[in-house]
Amino acid sequence: MTKTRIQNLNIRYYTPSPPNPILNLIHMDRGSSLDDDTSVHLQINELRKLSETCGSNTIFEPQSSCEARECNAESVPSAPVLRAPEKKLTLFALRLSIFEKSATGLGTLGFIWATVVLLGGFAITLDKTDFWFITIILLIEGTRIFSRSHELEWQHQATWSITDAGISSFRALRFSSHILIKAVKQTFNPLSLIRKPSHNTREVTQVDHLHVGRWNHSRTPTRTWISSDVPLLPYGKWVFLSRNISKVLYWLQLLSATACVVLSSTRLVNHNYGEVQKGDSDKRNRQSALNIFYAVALAEALLFLTEKAYWEWKVIYCKLLEEVNKECELGPSGMVSIKRFFYDAYSRCVNGSIFDGLKMDMVTFAIDLLASNSPDEQLIGARILRQFAISARYSDDTLQKIGVNLSVVERLVEMLNWKDPQEEEIRRSAAEILSKLAGKRQNCLRVAGIPGAMESISSLLQTNRSLGDGADEIGEKNLILDHANYSFWTFNHLGLLILKKLACDHDNCGKIGNTRGLLPKIIDFTHAGEKLLRDKNVAPSQILTVKRSLQLVQLLASTTGATGKHLRKEISEVVFTISNIRDILRHGEKHPALQKLSIEILTNLALEEEARERIGGTGGVLKDLFTIFLNQGMLENQNQVRRSAGEALAMLALESRANCHRILRLQVLERLIAALEFPMLRVTAARILRNLCTYRGSDCFYLLKGVIAAAATVLKAIMSEENKLQEVMVGLAAQVFKHMTSNESSIMFERAGIKEEELAKALVQILEKYRHPSAKVPRIRRFTIELAIWMMHDNVKNVYIFKDLGMEKELEGALETTAELESFNIFSGSVGLSRHTTTIHSLVETALNLLKDQ
């Protein structure tokens, strides 16, 4: 790759196109390992691998705590250890400090030698030439040492303003001599200000205006001075601005060192210190003393010039700062951070031990800046941490350092409340860092545990629903578009992303639900009208908003235990929840991922009886679910959406006579029976039919008479399938045969080509196979015993068949292994819900009594 050149302050290097935060967020959304898409999409080849007898875990079977809540938190494999790029800067600072301290030491030695030995011992005997040479060298060196001790301070101060730090980089020093001359002219000739500036001047001054874009605004203190902009004198303000003093001192040192080299060399070459007469003991050591002084002065000046040459070579020609900035992936504005980090490291090496700077790193440096009260320092710290947090190479180490420092996390959470437009980038950076931090499992509780964290995250979400005129109405939702100077949608995305990652933890879900006003905000973002869903040119960011909000609601609704029960109640009571989901079901055929998430929300909400009735009573929801479930025109990769719709319908029909009536009025019975032949749908179709038969009420008995047409298909499945499909078919058979007379059942056995003896044998084999309850098929023994009881009631001959097959022994064994696992229709994690009215123990005793009585 061609290395980017910024020779002569090429301004194009510093003027990148403004970043699009929405596209960055979409990239973040797609890039995380298990973040979003894996919970929505299923590849076609994976769908083909699914057996019709085994599907994904659902609420119809218990799940362990790990299975029940697959967290979307990132689990990035450990990357190889990479050398920190800033080590190059700390090593460079160490080497420079060696030159600097050596030169300072020689300078001090020369100063002491001159004052004590020469001027103190030979002041009277020195020639006039040597006296003035020594005096000039001492003045020059004293001035240089003094200016050197303060140059670093001035340079450091010059970088405290974000508007010019880094922009006026080391390379600007090339032009400072020209600028200095022009500034002096301007001091005495104000009219020169109106002249056209030179090319070099334009290059330096234009750079000062590069960060005025919306993403580089920083808050300027109104009650205090910015140190780099302080005018030290009322006249010649350009020269005497504190940020320009360092350049003056820089050139002053170079001139001083050069003059010292010239003067010392001249005297050493001429070697003319005056004649010493014989017997003059006062002058006999004068020549050696002068040689030592001039040699020390020359060595000290040469060391300093060597340091400056090394500095220029590494910075200007080797482009060390740009190289480190590129490796740190900080972008064009990162030169600010790199320059300040280097100055800080160099200051430590010069002012303390030369090894002090080696202890610095960019992350700790940024953390320190983040805690500052200066807006510029906060912005620089936030920029560094944000870039390192989202970098694939440095994120693990960065997030680990941030996560273990509670004060930093608290500071980031606090920054979420900063709504001043001039602090937008700081707030956005803090939100992005927290979104990455929350993606680590160990940091979820730490972030949510900070007092006021949920309220701060909630402040990122802007829905702006107006207040109604009275208690009998609700205000309308007003869409907040991005302002010219503020990106509200960016913060909406980040807020939803943080909450979604935090919701991976059960305890955090409770905190989200208990945060005042947060759930209605989240629900508002699930709204997607027909125009949005069917628009081919819809902005990806709008779909992303709906997707993230649905994912968050799905996580909250799937929470287990008392917390989950409370959350499902709260979510279903928000009047817009179900209607928003209905719009997605009805108009979202182009967005199957959104439909699947919406259906999963309905399925989880239906765990609660009140919500189940509320969903069924919302106009069109059941019809839209059946439209999706029975849609033969859907693509193969959308079959998972159809299966999810079937599970939702089975849940809505569970223990709900009203919903069963509504489903039967849709006249979908024949199509449900036909769905039993479709491999991807037969499990869910059988569940729906069984629940309709079980909970339809006596007044709908004849409406379900047509279900007997499914008997032949059900019998064949029992004989040929296993696992989950066999379980639901046995359960359906136990209900279907209740709608038949003995003659009708005999006809069905003949039509299926199966004898009752064969079915009885299959049932006994099921009990032999499942001598203990199975978490994968928790109801198979119950359904098997129910079907066996019906067969013995239907035909006395079946009692003897079961006796001969050893059914009594299997039932007695089952009596000793019954468990709570077999007593529920559905499960929330490992907690059973919807208990069966008849216990498994009672069913076993009924079957045994039938066998013994006969």
The arithmetic mean of pLDDT across residues 812-833, rounded, is 87
Residue 38 pLDDT more than 50?
no
Please count the residues of the chain: 854
Q: With 50 as the cut, is the pLDDT of residue 6 above it?
A: no
* pLDDT for res 628: 93
Residue 10 scores a pLDDT above 50: no
650 falls within a domain: no
Reported as a single tens digit per residue, the pLDDT across 656-682 is 889 999 998 898 989 999 999 888 889
On whether residue 799 sits in a domain, the answer given is: yes
Q: At residue 495, does pLDDT exceed 90?
A: yes
User: Among the listed ranges 20-24, 518-522, 632-636, 761-765, which one has the minimum average pLDDT value?
Assistant: 20-24
Q: Which residue in the block uniquely carries the two structure tokens 């967020």?
A: 25
What confidence tier does 475 reach under pLDDT thresholds 50, 70, 90? low
Query: Are 59 and 101 within 8 A, CB to CB?
Result: no
Give the N- to C-terminal CA distance of the chain in Å, as an integer: 89
Q: How wide is the angle at C-alpha 562 spanned by C-alphas 648 and 824, nearest 5°?
A: 50
Asked if 569 and 605 touch (Cβ cutoff 8 Å), the reply is no
Q: What percent of the chain has pLDDT over 70?
A: 72
Q: Which residues contact 795 (CB under 8 A, 6 or more apart)?
A: 742, 756
Q: Is 615 domain-assigned?
A: no
Q: Which helix (H) or strand (E) holds 119?
A: helix 119-121
In terms of pLDDT, which residue wins out, 362 or 486? 362
Phi-psi domain of 22 (left: phi exceeds 0; alpha: psi -120 through 50; beta: other): alpha
- Mean of pLDDT values over 379-393: 90
- Which residues, in sequence order, are CB contacts of 339 under 8 Å at separation 6+? 159, 165, 166, 169, 170, 321
The Cα 482–Cα 367 span in angstroms is: 30
Q: Which two tokens stand for residue 498?
A: 């943080």
Q: Is residue 705 scored above 80 in pLDDT?
A: no
pLDDT at 181: 39
Tell me what pLDDT residue 231 has.
57
Which range has the worst mean pLDDT, 247-261, 673-687, 797-811?
Answer: 247-261
Q: Span 586-594, mean pLDDT?
A: 91
Min mean pLDDT across 207-211, 299-303, 638-642, 762-766 is at 207-211
pLDDT at 546: 92
Per-residue pLDDT, 27: 52
For the range 173-179, what are the long-range contacts, defined as Cβ-Cβ under 8 Å and sequence gap of 24 or more?
173/247, 173/250, 174/8, 174/316, 175/9, 175/200, 175/201, 175/203, 175/204, 176/247, 176/250, 176/251, 177/251, 179/204, 179/247
Q: What pLDDT is stored for residue 569 in this prediction?
A: 93
Give pLDDT tens digits for 324-336: 989 888 888 888 8
Residue 39 has pLDDT above 80, yes or no: no
Map tokens 């039932």 to a residue: 811
Q: How many domains does the chain have?
A: 2
Lowest mean per-residue pLDDT among 173-177, 524-528, 705-709, 721-725: 173-177
pLDDT at residue 686 greater than cutoff 70: yes
What's the whole-number mean pLDDT along residues 209-226? 49
Name the domain boundary from 360, 380, 408.
Answer: 360
What gap in Å lies between CA 42 and CA 680, rounded to an integer?
14
More confident residue, 699 or 131: 131
pLDDT at 35: 42
Tokens standing for residue 832: 């059973």
Residue 537 lies in a domain: no
Question: What is the predicted pLDDT for the residue at 415?
Answer: 93
Q: Give the whole-angstrom CA distance, residue 61 versus residue 63.
A: 7
Structural domain contains residue 464: no
Burial of 835 from C-beta contacts in 10 A (0-12 / 13-18 / 19+)? exposed
Is the pLDDT score of 361 beyond 80? yes
pTM comes to 0.78
pLDDT at 298: 86
Rg (CA), the chain: 40
pLDDT average, residue stretch 536-563: 91
Q: Confidence class of residue 75 from pLDDT cuts 50, 70 and 90?
A: very low
Instruction: Output the pLDDT for position 183.
Output: 42
- Tell me what pLDDT residue 422 has: 85
For residue 159, pLDDT over 80 is answered with no
Residues with Cβ < 8 Å from 720, sequence gap 6 or more? none
Under 8 Å between Cβ of 718 and 753: no
Q: What is the mean pLDDT of residues 593-614?
A: 93
Q: Is residue 835 part of a domain?
A: yes
**CA–CA dist 719, 757 (Å, integer):** 12
Boundary-marking domain end, from 333, 360, 387: 360
CA atoms within 13 A on the CB side of 852: 10
Residue of 655 and 83 predicted with greater confidence: 655
Residue 770 token pair: 């499942």
Q: Which of 334, 360, 386 is the last residue of a domain?
A: 360
Comparing 161 with 505, the larger pLDDT belongs to: 505
Number of Cβ atoms within 10 Å of the Cβ of 438: 27
Is residue 639 assigned to a domain?
no
What is the rounded CA–CA span in Å between residue 417 and residue 427?
8
Range of the domain at 849: 755-853
Quickly state the pLDDT bin for 197 (edges 50, 70, 90). very low
Per-residue pLDDT at 557: 94
Task: Report if residue 417 sits inside a domain.
Answer: no
Residue 10 and residue 433: Cα distance in Å, rounded? 32
Measured CA to CA, the distance from residue 85 to residue 68 in angstroms comes to 42
* Residue among 587, 578, 500, 498 at smallest CA distance from 538: 587
Percent of the chain exceeding pLDDT 90 equals 25
pLDDT digits (tens, 9 = 90+) for 335-349: 888 888 988 888 888
Whole-number Å distance between alpha carbons of 57 and 54: 9
- Count the helix, strand and coil residues of the chain and give each as a percent rounded to the nearest 5: 70, 0, 30
pLDDT band of residue 455 (cuts 50, 70, 90) is: very high
Mean model confidence pLDDT for the chain: 77
Torsion of CA 127, 133, 138, 140, to 10 degrees: 170
Q: What was the pLDDT predicted at 12?
A: 34
The pLDDT of 135-139, averaged and rounded, is: 77
Mean pLDDT of 152-158: 55
Output the pLDDT for position 479: 56
* Locus of tokens 């060399």: 265
Average pLDDT over residues 232-250: 58
pLDDT for position 67 = 47
